[in-house]
Amino acid sequence: MGYLLPAEYVQYGLTAETTDNWVTMASALMEAYCRRPSLMVTQYVERVRLTAGAQTARLSYRPLAAAAGATSALVGVNVRYGRPRRGELPDPYREQIAWAFSVPGSWNALDVASVDVNETTAELTFPINFLGLNYNEVEVTYTSGLVTIPDAVKVACVQIVKNAQATPAMNVKSSRIDTMQMQYFSGSLIDAQVQLLLRPYVAERLG
């Protein structure tokens, strides 16, 4: 999708003659740079291994945002007590008790209301179970993205279009912009200013 409407082209510094394919190209490059299918609210499923002794995890996509009609960005949370890795067995006695009452490695649904959520940083804090043990792996289904497109994203889109139009090797009069050509020049099209504008939306721990 294009992150700038045709009616906004002139308002944000493009010429009235700018064709939609330039904005479509710039929008696709922004999504590729941020490593996400869309900057708008989208549902993701992510499995995270928790650090020994910690009950927090940070998700890859942020900011968290509830989908239309939902009250929370968290859709579902599954947790489990997988076999600990080397050096992650602080209390073997309690671990043996836990394994006696549950199948090691089995997933259990957790009430999303019991998870503390920081929507800005996408950090989750999980409760401790009745045995006082920490979970060591979680699978989170959640929604993240933009409910409305902010000015920063629109300005980034415009800047990419201007960078592309200013690149001599590109034919700005062409009625079709070749995707491979744009990918080849993406390093120069997404300059330091664009990177700064898109920094809050770049996925972490991926790639």
* 120 and 71 housed in the same domain: yes
Give the separation between CA 137 and CA 108, rounded to whole angstroms: 11
Quick check: helix, strand or coil at residue 17? coil
Do residue 167 and residue 136 come from a single domain?
no
58: helix, strand or coil: strand
Mean per-residue pLDDT, 30-41: 94
pLDDT in tens, 150-173: 999 999 999 999 998 887 655 444
Contact 107, 80 (CB under 8 A): yes
139 & 70 share domain: yes
Is 133 within the bounds of a domain?
A: yes
CA distance 178 to 164: 12
Contact status, residue 81 vs residue 135, Cβ threshold 8 Å: yes
Same domain, 140 and 47: yes
On the question of pLDDT at 121 being above 70, the answer is yes
* Domain hosting residue 54, numbered range: 42-144
Q: Is residue 84 part of a domain?
A: yes
Q: Residue for token digits 């099209």? A: 189
Asked if residue 128 and residue 90 are part of one domain, the reply reads yes
pTM of the model: 0.78
